Amino acid sequence: MFLARVEKKITSTKKHNAYNGRIVFIVQPILPDGTSNGNEWVAIDYVGAGIGDIVVCGGAPGVSKSVFNLKFAPIRTLIMAVVDKINYHDI
Amino acid sequence: MKLGVVIGVVWATKKVKEINGCRMYIVQPISSKGEKKEIPLVVADPQNIAASGDKVIYVTSSDATEAFDSGFAPVNASIVELVDEIS
């Protein structure tokens, strides 16, 4: 799993059936101090995140299938939590 | 899942039977602002979603096989959504 900032929302009409009714966001992976790190990911919202939120993203093959109770779900990245606060220190 | 632009089509007559009738595109990964990221890759389009020049979302790893109606195909990248607007 990784920390990310929700940046943009994607709207679409032509999609795989598993994506019907789901909110799709572009998330930017970040370091604990909030600086961007690496390339953007596309993630499906599972907890009710909004643009600008710091979130925890992740997923593994087959997870979205059981989470959404679908027969086939070509979904890799899920937004799993909205972060309230991060406590961290350098080693 | 990642964002990309369809920049080309791959034609192949001799292929495994699981991907018969499924088009394959060359997709350039991009950022939400349209800048190129990483190197282009070949992506299957089992649901006939995309055309050349379209902005799409593709899924990689074993979840790509789930985009097929049969649920099994030897691919590791599939197009799952056509992007209308990024806001």
Q: Where are the domains of chain A?
A: 2-56+72-81
A88 touches chain B (CB under 8 A): no
Contact B80, B59 (CB under 8 A): yes
- Cβ-based neighbours of B22, under 8 Å, separated by 6 or more: B44, B45, B46, B68, B73
Which residue of chain B comes nearest to A58, CA vs CA?
Answer: B1
Superfamily of domain A2-56+72-81: EutN/Ccml (2.40.50.220)
Which residue of chain B comes nearest to A72, CA vs CA?
Answer: B66
User: What pLDDT score does A61 carry?
Assistant: 83
A61 touches chain B (CB under 8 A): yes
Local structure of A58: helix, strand or coil? strand
- What's the gap in Å between the CA of B47 and the closest CA on chain A? 7
Express as a percent the part of chain A with pLDDT over 90.
81
Position B10, amino acid: V
Residues B18-57 pLDDT 10s: 889 899 999 999 999 999 999 999 999 999 999 999 999 9
Superfamily of domain B2-82: EutN/Ccml (2.40.50.220)
User: ipTM for the complex?
Assistant: 0.87
Angle at alpha carbon of residue B74, lines to B72 and B76, rounded to 5°: 105
Taking the model in full, what pTM does it have?
0.91
CA-CA distance, A57 to B35, in Å (whole number)? Answer: 23
Which residue of chain B comes nearest to A61, CA vs CA?
Answer: B63
